Structure 1
Amino acid sequence: MRKITSKMTFEDDKEEVASKKHNANPLKLTESSGILYPYYFGDDPHVKLKNIKNIQSKTGDIFLCSYPKSGTHWIMEMVNMLVSGSTEHPQKFNFLDPMIICDQVLDSVPCPRIFQSHLRFNQLPASFLKRKGKIIYILRNPKDISVSLYHFVQKEGRIKYTGKWDEFFQLFVNGKVGYSSWFDHVASWEREKEKGRHPIHFVFYEDLKEDAVRELDRINKFLSLNHPNSFLQSVAECSTFTKMRKQKYLYHPFPAEVMDENYVDFLFRKGTVGDWRTLFSEEQNMQLEEVYETEMFDSKLRFSYG
């Protein structure tokens, strides 16, 4: 794998972290160790990151990791059904993002806990990594992600990005968005998986859209579960995009000033493959593909663009 340009280290006793606001960035981001984060995580997200490293892992903990707008909520719902062995929707939200939910709440959640996060591998709790807890990493093609993220930041309550698509596209390509470069994020996770030292399962958003039962069976086996095909079919039917939109109570961990009552309309906006064509110009398509070839030249990943 190529050398990751935004390389991060987390040796807390040795590292001096310079976190600062990017006042010139219209997305209102903060920075820690070369990575950008949404500013509502605080002026110094390193404090949150350090606390996350110290979260005590429990037996059965699972992390669903991804770059933003990769379909995390959708897959989280599927994994919850697989782990619980039931297609019944829980009666309260099941959103466990350690960047948002406080440690006390996380510690009170009964096992098995299913976390979701947009962090890099080395940012996950040290005890979880030592225990070799299972990780599902979700991938989605960068063209659709960029369009989905653009619509998201336009409606996110405390950002309300007002820039045009052409401006946002350049921010995305240059990694000047929350959680920084898609290319670095994905390549760093591919590198960790190739090392083979930790149980990491890759699932592609587009593959799930194509054949949910097939992909659920792969996740089923990765988690060492023994659900029959009939149950996997029920899970797929109960977690369709239309049904997910109706489960509003599940997906609202953010305070009202961050997302208003219409949050579900952009958390689950379309859920299609190929929506990038609604905004991309031919020049932008060529530019992103050129950047992809440069940044991911030695990657073995292959994406479907619809």
Structure 2
Amino acid sequence: MLTRLIRRGSAYEVNFNRLSWSSLKNRFPMTNVPIRSLQLSSSAQMGANKAAGAAFGKRTMPKNAVVSTFINTTILILMGSVGSLLYHKYQQKQKRLAKIDRVLPVSPYFKAPLKLVMYRNTVVTEEMVLDGTAERVEAFETRPTDIFLTSFPKSGTTWLQEVVFRLCNQNQDSTEILEDRVPYLEFPYPGIKDISQREGQRLIKSHLPLHLLPKGVWDGQGKVIYIYRNPKDVAVSYFHFAQLLSYLNFQGPFSRFVQLFVKDEIPYAPYFPHVNEYIQYSRDRPEQILCISYEDMKENPEREVRKIAKFLKADATDEMIESICEKTTFDAMKVNPASNYQHWKTFGLVLPNREPFMRKGIVGDHANYFKDPFTQNEMDKFIEIGVKNTGLNFRYSISNDN
């Protein structure tokens, strides 16, 4: 109870000996209201305010006046609590804003303005920083049995997830969608809280660069498998993906998307540092980090699946590896509801009359897109500089793909 009311007849009586506007103002701060500042008297008359003499006189406060006082005081308390919370949120937001290196220009080619920022040398959405997702990812508690499946977007992540899931589950078929089997660490669904509460071995997907993964990874907790792909095919696949998603709906030509790609103005850019960081650390930590290329997987899937199985110390027979390779071909996964992302249509995440999530899955499709000399030149210069700075090499074609 905010006050202790003593009823006499039809009136409630309040002692004003200890209640005045100055005392209320001094003793009712917004975040801490001392309830004892209101005391009731058993007297049938209100005592004169000693500090103000007979200013108040003796009078009886009607019941509705006490109720009004109670309501007003409660409102003060609530306003104080809300004000304190809002101020805390404001301070928190300011601290997070200070972590943003710079705000990227908004591209007019996205249907809804995509607010991107450079955060710790990586392009992410502004929301990811301001809502605390980046902080929660960093603080995520890893376990020794965790397996992180990572990549720059559109580099073969879905394929890698299905392969590793089968290796860790004795090649069992599953009707559960891939997003539930291998949750996306920095994505709202199913969310970091859900992932944290999962028991047993956890397979976790992420497109974040290595330096933005949870601290536990840097402390040696869990394993990381990174798949990378040549930048030209990545740009083509990313372009179609940006057109497909309803909340992006990229409406510009391919040449414009390439400009964003080489200027590091798309999510998870810059591309070369992203790939290089994982590859360099995989050389220093071969027991914790494995890097494989999309082109090598396409050329000889059985060889690469064996490499992954060895890295994970998975109990996989020759027959199992052969079966996994058969069940994770592009054609097999494209018709598998558990891995083809067709359920996104139900939730309105993809636009109708666009190419599907699983489009071609080949090496060298870039040859059908980089026909404009200016666009080709932009990408070639981008690759030349990136290779010079990192020493990376990529394969742009393989003999057995079409």
Q: TM-score range by the shorter chain?
A: 0.7 to 0.9
CA distance in 1, matches of 2:246, 2:385: 35
Partner of 2:153: 68
Out of 350, 362, 365, the residue aligned to residue 275 of structure 1 is 365
Distance 1:15 1:192, change over 3 A: farther
Out of 181, 185, 207, the residue aligned to residue 98 of structure 1 is 185
Out of 40, 44, 47, the residue aligned to residue 132 of structure 2 is 47
Query: Once the two structures are superposed, what CA deviation does each residue of 1:96-139 show, in whole Å capped at 9, x if it has no partner?
Result: 11111312211233321111111011211112332432111101
Judge conservation of contact 1:21–1:43 (CA < 8 Å) in 2. Answer: no
Is 1:200 equivalent to 2:285 in the alignment?
A: no
CA distance in 1, matches of 2:334, 2:245: 17
- Whichever residue aligns with residue 16 of structure 1, its letter is A
Partner of 2:120: 33
Give ranges in structure 1 of 5+ residues lacking alignment.
Answer: 1-12
C-alpha deviation, 1:21, in angstroms = 6.4
Partner of 1:296: 387
Listed as ranges, the matches of 1:123-162 within 5 Å are: 123-162=212-251
Work out which structure has the larger RCO, using CA pairs closer than 8 Å and 6 or more positions apart in sequence: 1
Kindly name which structure, 1 or 2, has the bigger radius of gyration based on alpha carbons.
Answer: 2
- Whichever residue aligns with residue 285 of structure 1, its letter is Q
Query: Once the two structures are superposed, what CA deviation does each residue of 1:172-227 show, in whole Å capped at 9, x if it has no partner?
Result: 11111111121121122223223338621111101111110000000011111231
Distance 1:29 1:272, change over 3 A: farther
- Whichever residue aligns with residue 17 of structure 1, its letter is K
Partner of 1:243: 332
CA distance in 2, matches of 1:151, 1:188: 26
C-alpha deviation, 1:169, in angstroms = 1.1
CA distance in 1, matches of 2:372, 2:107: 28
C-alpha deviation, 1:276, in angstroms = 0.4
CA distance in 1, matches of 2:273, 2:115: 18
C-alpha deviation, 1:148, in angstroms = 0.5
Deviating more after overlay: 275-284 vs 236-245: 275-284
CA distance in 2, matches of 1:207, 1:58: 30
C-alpha deviation, 1:153, in angstroms = 0.4
Out of 100, 106, 118, the residue aligned to residue 23 of structure 1 is 106
Partner-residue secondary structure (3-state), 2:98: coil
- Whichever residue aligns with residue 149 of structure 2, its letter is L
Judge conservation of contact 1:37–1:45 (CA < 8 Å) in 2. Answer: no
C-alpha deviation, 1:50, in angstroms = 0.6
CA distance in 2, matches of 1:175, 1:64: 23
Partner of 1:56: 141
Distance 1:104 1:261, change over 3 A: farther
Query: Once the two structures are superposed, what CA deviation does each residue of 1:18-44 show, in whole Å capped at 9, x if it has no partner?
Result: 3756434644142133422256xx263
Say what the alpha-carbon RMSD is for the aligned residues.
2.7
- Whichever residue aligns with residue 325 of structure 2, its letter is A
CA distance in 1, matches of 2:314, 2:128: 42
- Whichever residue aligns with residue 59 of structure 1, its letter is P
CA distance in 1, matches of 2:103, 2:391: 35
Partner of 2:396: 305
Is 1:170 equivalent to 2:259 in the alignment?
A: yes
Judge conservation of contact 1:144–1:274 (CA < 8 Å) in 2. Answer: yes
Deviating more after overlay: 208-217 vs 23-32: 23-32
CA distance in 2, matches of 1:172, 1:135: 25
Judge conservation of contact 1:153–1:161 (CA < 8 Å) in 2. Answer: yes
CA distance in 2, matches of 1:117, 1:106: 13
Distance 1:66 1:150, change over 3 A: same
Partner of 2:4: none
Judge conservation of contact 1:36–1:177 (CA < 8 Å) in 2. Answer: yes
Is 1:258 equivalent to 2:258 in the alignment?
A: no
Partner-residue secondary structure (3-state), 1:138: strand
Judge conservation of contact 1:151–1:266 (CA < 8 Å) in 2. Answer: no
How many percent of aligned residue pairs carry the same amino acid?
Answer: 25
Give ranges in structure 2 of 5+ residues lacking alignment.
Answer: 1-94, 398-402
Partner of 1:285: 376
TM-score, length-scaled by structure 1: 0.85
Deviating more after overlay: 155-164 vs 183-192: 183-192
C-alpha deviation, 1:303, in angstroms = 1.6
C-alpha deviation, 1:48, in angstroms = 0.7
Partner of 1:5: none
Partner-residue secondary structure (3-state), 2:116: strand
C-alpha deviation, 1:287, in angstroms = 3.3
Partner-residue secondary structure (3-state), 2:219: helix
Partner-residue secondary structure (3-state), 1:297: helix
Distance 1:141 1:169, change over 3 A: same
Partner-residue secondary structure (3-state), 1:81: helix
Partner of 1:229: 318
Judge conservation of contact 1:58–1:111 (CA < 8 Å) in 2. Answer: no
Judge conservation of contact 2:165–2:203 (CA < 8 Å) in 1. Answer: yes
Judge conservation of contact 2:175–2:338 (CA < 8 Å) in 1. Answer: no
C-alpha deviation, 1:298, in angstroms = 5.0
C-alpha deviation, 1:65, in angstroms = 0.9
